[in-house]
Amino acid sequence: MLHVNESYFVTSSGSTVAQQSFMCEMTSYMDPQKPVKSQLFADVMNKKPKIAVDTILDCESRVTLIDRSYAPIVAAAGDNVDTSLTIWEFYDAPDTLGPPAEVVHGGRASHRFPGAGNYCAVVRTSARDTVCWSRRLLRVRALEPPDPGFEFERNDICFRDTIAIIDTTHDSYWRRWVVHHDDGTTDTLADSARTVRLSFDSTEVVELIAGSAPAHVVDTTGEAVTMICKATVRQTIRVGKYPRLYVAGDTVICRGDTGRIEVTTDVEGCTFEWYNAIGSAMPYSDSPHIVVKPLRSTWYYVKVTTHPNGCFAWDSVFVRVVDPTLEADRTAICEGDTVWLTAGKADTYTWSADPADTTLAAWNGTGTYRIPVVPRSSTTYTMVGHGSNGCNASPLSVTITVYPYPVPRVQCEPTFVDMMEPVVTFRDLSDYGVRRLWDFGDGTISTEREVKHTFSNLALDSVPVRLTPANALGCESDTEFFLPVVLFSVWLPNTFTPGMGGENSVFRVYSGNTLEHFSLYIYDRCGLLVYRSHNQYEGWNGTNLNGRDCKEGIYAYVCSYRRPDTHDIKTHKGTVMLIR
């Protein structure tokens, strides 16, 4: 009986077993009590090829298989596999039910499956110069890139708007955002978030690179293959420009007149909406211009919208109804002062003056609302306000009263200071003066129009006096003058001798001053007038009115005069002895 010990057998789990050495043991039972064993060693060679396949994946649902099988027992060089006899059967299903979708001969075969997923293939390969062959079922995975796509939060994007961009790719595992600017530069976002927020200044191209999940495939050679499929999609985002508005027209009009207001913009293809109040439900007009006729000053608002992005801008214009105002910073001035005339609530102004003022010519027809004038005398200024459409409002007037500066004039009685009687009366006769201040140089002042002052300091040959008159507005002038200090004296002798010669030969008044209204009368003892004169420098020579010599004796005289710059007549009476 031949008994083979199974423990010496090698069980193959694959299609090919490598070369092995085997031992056969035989036990003889000729004598059941004494079994006899014998052994036989033999080498067994397996000529069936060992299947090995390289797998190459791409991202178009295509798989390429390469036969790398070998027959290790055959001693010939090379892989000892005849790949020309290799047969590939591809099934568009995960199992081999039904006929194959494609059969390919040769050591390399490619097949494109209907889409990404798990499929199978069968490979049959033959050893060279033998009839041995091996067959194996292969599990195959086909890959496809994701179908990329993204959408914008909204399409009406305006300058520097920030919007959300959402990756809508189904089953995207990996993504990269790239923004291509119109100047040729690009920005790549390292953030792989499904939603990003971006701001745009101009029309730009947004690119999404989406990747599938990594596919890990280990082929029959034991080599691991990792594959990631990527796809790219681009969209152009067009950024709308906010319109820049320019509003102009008749912004200052007269009551009852119409004005035209127009808006222009630097963007073409816009729509316009005018409103006469913020928050109005209905627009006032949808034209680029409006014609208005407000009864009072009114704001108008315009909304300009671009298309197709819908970028819009607001502007406003204030249409002022001409209701001119005219003010003067003061209506009474001193001669030579400047007055500021302020006009308002009109576009331009026309000025006139009565009497004429040449300084107004520079301001006529201008929009200047505050002008300086220097009237030479009391003047009425008239202003007419105009709207921007040329309309005229009712004239307004303001009168500026000009007060001349006082012209100092002084009257003094006397015009000198008599050392014997140093009293002088002063009168203020200044033109346009209503107030005054006298200063007599000795600490004494007065505000009276007529003042009598007694001088005490007569050490100098003159005394100073200052008068400062002021007009009704308090504008002042001043003058200073000096009064001479004079010693006044009148002396008449008590005797004289006619014909003697010299000063004592006549009787007359001796004075260092000029006397006004002078008279000298001489009487004898009987009261008869013997001499008269109205010249202070003439004297009595002792004769009577008939030219005859008067007798020696005592005669009475009466002398009258008035000091210069005074009103009082002074009279001296006395006697004189005529000696022959």
Residues 28-52 have pLDDT tens digits of 777 777 787 777 765 555 678 888 8
Residue 579 is encoded by which pair of tokens?
């000696």
Position 265 in a domain? yes
Domain CATH number, residue 272: 2.60.40.10
Same domain, 301 and 266: yes
- DSSP structural state of residue 255: T
On the question of a cis peptide bond just before residue 35, with omega within 30 degrees of 0, the verdict is no
Q: Are residues 215 and 271 in the same domain?
A: no
Residues 333 and 269 in one domain: no
Q: Which residue has the higher pLDDT, 386 or 17?
A: 386
CATH code (residue 84): 2.60.40
Q: What is the pLDDT of residues 96-118, one digit of tens each?
A: 999 999 999 999 999 999 998 89
- Please state, in angstroms and as integers, the Cα–Cα distance from residue 402 to each residue in 408, 436, 465, 470, 557, following that order: 18, 19, 29, 14, 62
Same domain, 512 and 569: yes
Query: Strands, E, within 280-377: which ranges?
Result: 289-292, 298-305, 312-322, 325-328, 332-334, 339-344, 348-354, 370-373
How far does CA 131 lie from the centroid of its chain? 97
**Cα separation, 258 vs 292, whole angstroms:** 5
For residues 161 and 220, membership in a common domain is answered with yes
For residues 283 and 314, which has the higher predicted lDDT (pLDDT)? 314
Whether residue 105 sits in one domain with residue 76: yes
Q: Is residue 349 part of a domain?
A: yes
How many independent structural domains does the chain possess? 7
Q: Report the C-alpha gap between 300 and 316 in whole angstroms.
A: 6
Does residue 1 sit within a domain? no
Q: Is the pLDDT of residue 77 over 80?
A: no
pLDDT (tens digit, 9 = 90+) per residue, 333-346? 999 999 999 998 88
69 neighbors 49 (Cβ within 8 angstroms): yes
Q: Highest mean pLDDT: which of 72-76, 84-88, 457-461?
A: 84-88
Higher-scoring residue by pLDDT: 365, 41: 365
| Nearest to 411, CA basis, from 439, 450, 437, 445 | 450
Residue 546 lies in a domain: yes
Contacts of 390 (CB under 8 A, 6+ apart): none
The verdict on residue 205 lying in a domain is: yes
Residue 357 belongs to some domain of the structure: yes
34 vs 387: CA distance, rounded Å: 146
Which of 486, 516, 546 represents a domain boundary (last residue)? Answer: 486
Whose tokens are 């064993």? That residue is 37
Boundaries of domain holding 170:
150-237
- In the block, tokens 């499956």 appear at 113
**Do 136 and 74 reside in the same domain of the chain?**
yes
Q: What angle do CA 270, 271, 273 make, to 5 degrees?
A: 140
Mean pLDDT for the stretch of residues 374-396: 91
- CA-based angle 76:81:84, to the nearest 5? 130
pLDDT at position 124 over 90? yes
pLDDT tens-digit series, residues 136-165: 999 888 998 988 999 998 888 888 889 999
Distance CA(492)–CA(509), nearest Å, equals: 5
pLDDT, position 21 = 58
Position 2 scores a pLDDT of: 45
Longest Cα–Cα distance of the chain, Å, equals: 239
What was the pLDDT predicted at 20? 55
**Do 63 and 138 belong together in one domain?**
yes
Residue 4's pLDDT band (cuts 50, 70, 90): very low
Q: What phi and psi, each to the nearest 5 degrees, are found at residue 8? A: -95, -5
Q: Indicate the SS3 state at residue 51.
A: coil
Question: Domain boundary residue among 290, 322, 354?
Answer: 322
- CB-based contacts of 78-83 (< 8 A; 24+ apart in sequence): 78/128, 80/49, 80/127, 80/128, 81/49, 81/125, 81/126, 81/127, 81/128, 82/126, 82/127, 82/128, 83/107, 83/108, 83/125
Which of 52, 95, 90 is closest to 71 using CA atoms? Answer: 52
Share of the chain above pLDDT 90, in %: 49
> Do 520 and 535 have their domain in common?
yes
Q: Is residue 48 in some structural domain?
A: no
Average pLDDT, the chain: 87
Tens-digit pLDDT profile for residues 438-497: 999 999 999 999 999 999 888 888 999 999 999 999 999 999 999 999 887 788 999 999
